[in-house]
Amino acid sequence: MLMPLWQNSGQEPARELRVSGSNETYEDIVNLLEDPSPSVVSAALSALGRRGEKRAVPKILRLIKASDHWYVQWYAYKALKALGWQQKKRGP
């Protein structure tokens, strides 16, 4: 019998956590940002964006700079946009 993918990756719990608004759930999602699996981290980023967790913006910005995985960077950017973050303009 095949096991669901999430039992191996942690991705499904990250998706499920997006529906709870408790502070404990927020901390659980933030902890998933340190998971070694890019799929788990991406699901956690998506959950933060969908939950409207604006307090996560500094953590997401640090993650997008530290990660060398394009998939994680892409989901981090999508979460930032969902949270209303706007890139500062450079120039004269």
CATH architecture, domain 10-82 = Alpha Horseshoe (1.25)
Q: How confident is the model at residue 16 (pLDDT cuts 50, 70, 90)?
A: low
Instruction: Please say whether the beta carbons of 14 and 40 come within 8 A.
Output: yes
Q: Tens of pLDDT along 29-49?
A: 999 999 999 999 999 999 999
Model's pTM, two decimal places?
Answer: 0.77
